[in-house]
């Protein structure tokens, strides 16, 4: 088995969205392609939120090593504030020295042949950059999101530092991996030398089949008088704004085109709940829209599988990103009502797979018309269905095969 050092800040028991699932999927399936993963991550105290680890979440073959890291926003703050210059490139910069020291030990002890790191957090790439320079090992830098869409713009020190780090990554890394074609095109325009040298490629996100094998068979969907539409995950006032959707619902309710007996909207773990609750009350939608708290990934999948349909919010600001949950939505196989940016990567994926009604995120009249048609199709049992053979191509097993092939090339 070839040995791969995987540097990832987000790893279970971190409970910070779905970012850790990509690393976990690679770690689970790379051994089948001849690569043994060694995880280098942070101690759980560095995470703002953690969740109990269920049995089997981390594969038994996967060795996980954790080093000391502090969160400047929590550990060094006074009255909720901290000096911005200590968060370069990000709030977890303190992880860097300990991770480099531990990484060197792991490289020499395990005869590691390649390094892989994933962004965000940028400190992970900084650790990998340092280790690659010190050891001469080839390095794959993985960008789950573009830097410009993920950086904390409130901290000018962090913004400038992350952009400097980005330039170093694109200059040094043996390969730079993106999750969408749009993100890669954007970076190719900014770093044409890396593109010309053939160091950029796409390995899409996906779903882990092991999470669905028993889940879907166990779900017994109950008959309901009202249709249940579920959205799972963070919403943003900018880029994933549900307010135009609320306005469309209110207009349809006022016109008696939809009633509380027709549909129930569940927004799970949305974030910014206080803002959205006020918007819901202002439009009189309390009986139609429910804001509900976070649950485990397994419980979220059960809820999605039990839903009549799934909601997706992904505006033009995030045209070069595809939310990880989209692949889970597609695997679950429920019809999707997608409020997306026109011409973006998410829209392109859903057109390719089928199974979704597409409308513009910020066009209230388009949402109204599309939602009426979508609900009518649900009731008539003629909703769009995703192409199963296309969806299978986004299994994390296939992603691990692609990454293993990339690693084989760079060590050759």
Report the number of distinct structural domains present in the chain: 2
- Helix H, strand E, coil C: the string for 49-92 is CECCCCCCCCCCCCEEEEECCCCHHHHCCECCECCHHHCCCCCC
Give the pLDDT band of residue 152 (cuts 50, 70, 90). Answer: confident
**Shared domain check, 280 and 184:** no
Q: How far apart are CA 180 and CA 353, in angstroms?
A: 15
Per-residue pLDDT tens over the stretch 112-145: 999 999 999 999 999 999 999 999 999 999 999 9
Q: How far apart are CA 296 and CA 52, in angstroms?
A: 9
**Shared domain check, 128 and 238:** no
The DSSP annotation for 323-351 comes to: -HHHHHHHHHT--EEEEE-TTSHHHHHHH
Contact status, residue 41 vs residue 8, Cβ threshold 8 Å = yes
Predicted local confidence at residue 238, as pLDDT: 84
Predicted local confidence at residue 82, as pLDDT: 84
**Shared domain check, 104 and 35:** yes
Range of the domain at 178: 2-206+395-411
Predicted local confidence at residue 274, as pLDDT: 93
Handedness of CA 360, 365, 366, 371 (dihedral sign): positive
Q: How far apart are CA 337 and CA 245, in angstroms?
A: 11
Q: What is the CATH number of the domain that holds 84?
A: 3.40.50.2000
Q: Name every residue whose Cβ is closer than 8 Å to that of residue 151 and which is 6 or more positions away in sequence.
A: 158, 159, 162, 163
Predicted local confidence at residue 217, as pLDDT: 67
**Shared domain check, 245 and 197:** no
**Shared domain check, 68 and 171:** yes
DSSP strand pairing (289-292 vs 263-268): parallel
Q: Describe the chain by its helix, strand, coil percentages, rounded to 5.
A: 45, 20, 35
Percent above pLDDT 70 for the chain? 98
Give the pLDDT band of residue 222 (cuts 50, 70, 90). Answer: low
Q: How far apart are CA 237 and CA 361, in angstroms?
A: 12
Handedness of CA 316, 322, 323, 329 (dihedral sign): positive
**Shared domain check, 137 and 92:** yes
Predicted local confidence at residue 115, as pLDDT: 98
Structure tokens at 122: 């940028």
DSSP strand pairing (114-119 vs 63-67): unpaired
**Shared domain check, 216 and 198:** no
Cα dist from 41 to 38, 46, 159, 372, whole Å: 10, 10, 23, 47
**Shared domain check, 351 and 247:** yes
Neighbours of 330 (CB within 10 A): 26
Contacts 24+ apart (CB under 8 A), 160-168: 161/88, 161/89, 161/90, 161/122, 162/89, 162/90, 162/122, 164/89, 165/89, 165/122, 165/125, 165/126, 165/129, 166/122, 167/191, 168/129
Structure tokens at 304: 């999605």
**Shared domain check, 216 and 183:** no
**Shared domain check, 152 and 247:** no
Predicted local confidence at residue 59, as pLDDT: 87
Structure tokens at 140: 């794959």
Question: 176-190 burial, b if ≥16 CB within 10 A, otherwise e?
Answer: bbbbbebbbbbbbee
The kind and range of the H/E element at 98 are: helix 95-110
Task: Return the ∠ at Cα 230 (arms to 351 and 377), rounded to 5°.
Answer: 55
The pTM of the full predicted model, rounded to 2 decimals, is 0.88
Predicted local confidence at residue 23, as pLDDT: 95
Residue 218 in this model has a pLDDT that exceeds 70 = no
Q: How far apart are CA 251 and CA 233, in angstroms?
A: 25
338 alpha carbon, distance to own chain's centre = 17
Task: Return the ∠ at Cα 228 (arms to 223 and 231), rounded to 5°.
Answer: 145
**Shared domain check, 232 and 137:** no
Residue 36 in this model has a pLDDT that exceeds 90 = yes
Residue 317 in this model has a pLDDT that exceeds 90 = no
Predicted local confidence at residue 53, as pLDDT: 81
Per-residue pLDDT tens over the stretch 291-315: 999 888 888 999 999 999 999 999 9
Structure tokens at 115: 């390094």
Residue 258 in this model has a pLDDT that exceeds 80 = yes
- Among the listed residues 402, 324, 391, 321, the one whose alpha carbon sits nearest the alpha carbon of residue 356: 391
Residue 14 in this model has a pLDDT that exceeds 90 = no
**Shared domain check, 355 and 245:** yes
């Amino acid at each position: 088995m070839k040995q791969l050092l995987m540097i990832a800040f987000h790893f279970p028991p971190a409970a910070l969205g779905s970012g850790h699932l990509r690393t976990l999927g690679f770690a689970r399936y790379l051994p089948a392609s001849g690569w043994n993963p060694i995880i280098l991550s942070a101690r759980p105290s560095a995470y703002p939120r953690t969740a109990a680890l269920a049995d089997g979440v981390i594969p038994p073959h996967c060795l996980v090593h954790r080093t000391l890291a502090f969160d400047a926003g929590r550990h060094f703050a006074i009255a909720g504030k901290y000096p911005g210059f200590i968060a370069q490139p990000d709030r977890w910069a303190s992880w860097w020295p300990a991770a480099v020291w531990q990484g060197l030990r792991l490289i020499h002890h395990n005869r590691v042949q390649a390094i892989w790191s994933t962004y965000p957090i940028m400190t992970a790439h900084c650790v990998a950059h340092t280790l690659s320079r010190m050891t001469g090992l080839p390095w794959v830098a993985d960008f789950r999101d573009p830097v410009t869409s993920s950086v904390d713009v409130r901290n000018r020190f962090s913004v400038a530092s992350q952009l400097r780090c980005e330039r170093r990554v694109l200059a040094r890394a043996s390969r730079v991996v993106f999750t969408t074609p749009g993100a890669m095109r954007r970076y190719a325009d900014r770093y044409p030398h890396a593109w010309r040298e053939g160091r950029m490629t796409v390995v899409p996100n996906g779903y882990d089949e092991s999470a669905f094998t028993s889940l879907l068979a166990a779900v017994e969907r109950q008959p309901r008088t009202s249709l249940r539409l579920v959205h799972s995950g963070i919403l943003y006032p900018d880029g994933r704004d549900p307010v135009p959707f609320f306005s469309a619902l209110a207009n349809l309710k006022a016109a008696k085109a939809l009633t509380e007996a027709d549909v129930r909207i569940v927004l799970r773990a949305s974030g910014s709940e206080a803002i959205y609750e006020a918007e819901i009350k202002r439009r009189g939608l309390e009986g139609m829209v429910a804001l509900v708290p976070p649950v485990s990934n397994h419980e979220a999948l059960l809820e999605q599988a039990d839903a009549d349909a799934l909601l997706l919010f992904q505006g033009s600001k995030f045209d070069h990103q595809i939310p990880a949950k989209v692949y889970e939505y597609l695997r679950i196989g429920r019809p999707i009502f997608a409020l997306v940016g026109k011409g973006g990567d998410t829209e392109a994926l859903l057109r390719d797979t089928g199974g979704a009604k597409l409308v513009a995120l910020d066009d209230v009249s388009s949402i109204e018309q599309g939602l009426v048609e979508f609900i009518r199709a649900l009731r008539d049992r003629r909703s769009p269905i995703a192409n199963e053979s296309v969806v299978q191509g986004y299994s994390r097993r296939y992603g691990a095969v692609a990454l293993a092939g990339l690693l084989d090339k760079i060590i050759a």
